[in-house]
């Protein structure tokens, strides 16, 4: 799972690099033609990143006050937040709070899915 997470991170890095160079237009033209395609793309891309990283980390958590947060989701949220805000300073990009919101929804939702699958797997192992 760790190698798949690393590969996915590299793919996301290439996508961000191409977007920063304004070279992604042909690549994402069809996505942008779909209603809310850009927002759904953010949700799925960052959600899948959260899912893979949380699975690779076996859904380890970090307690903040009384809330247990998935470490993988926190890492992805931090990286995504920094990347979105960096767009303020990049010529061909624009900061979009809506994109960030959909990133967070994907991170949270797919993180919950990873947690659910991990708990089921461990429950099955304990029951054997």
Of 42, 23, 13, the C-alpha closest to 92 is 23
Give residue 23's pLDDT.
63
Of 3, 40, 34, the C-alpha closest to 11 is 3
Taking the model in full, what pTM does it have? Answer: 0.86
Give residue 24's pLDDT.
63
- Residue 104 pLDDT exceeds 90: yes
Question: Domain spans of the chain?
Answer: 2-127
Query: What ranges make up the beta strands (E) of the chain?
Result: 61-64, 67-70
| Residue 69 token pair | 């947060």
Residue 99, helix vs strand vs coil: helix
pLDDT digits (tens, 9 = 90+) for 13-43: 988 888 777 766 666 777 777 888 889 989 9
**Residue at token pair 């920063």:** 20
pLDDT digits (tens, 9 = 90+) for 56-75: 999 999 998 899 999 999 99
- End-to-end, the C-alpha distance of the chain in Å comes to 23
| Residue 30 token pair | 């069809």
Give residue 76's pLDDT.
97
């Amino acid at each position: 799972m760790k190698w798949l997470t690393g590969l996915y991170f590299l793919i996301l890095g290439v996508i961000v690099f191409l977007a920063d160079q304004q070279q992604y237009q042909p690549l994402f033209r069809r996505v942008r033609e779909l209603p809310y395609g850009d927002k759904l793309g953010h949700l799925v891309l960052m959600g899948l990143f959260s899912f893979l990283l949380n699975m690779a980390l076996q859904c380890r958590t970090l307690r903040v006050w009384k809330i247990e947060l998935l470490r993988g989701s926190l890492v992805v949220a931090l990286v995504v937040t920094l990347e979105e805000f960096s767009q303020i300073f990049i010529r061909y990009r624009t900061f979009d709070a809506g994109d960030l919101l959909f990133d967070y929804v994907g991170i949270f939702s797919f993180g919950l899915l990873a947690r659910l699958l991990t708990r089921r797997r461990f429950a099955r192992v304990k029951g054997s």
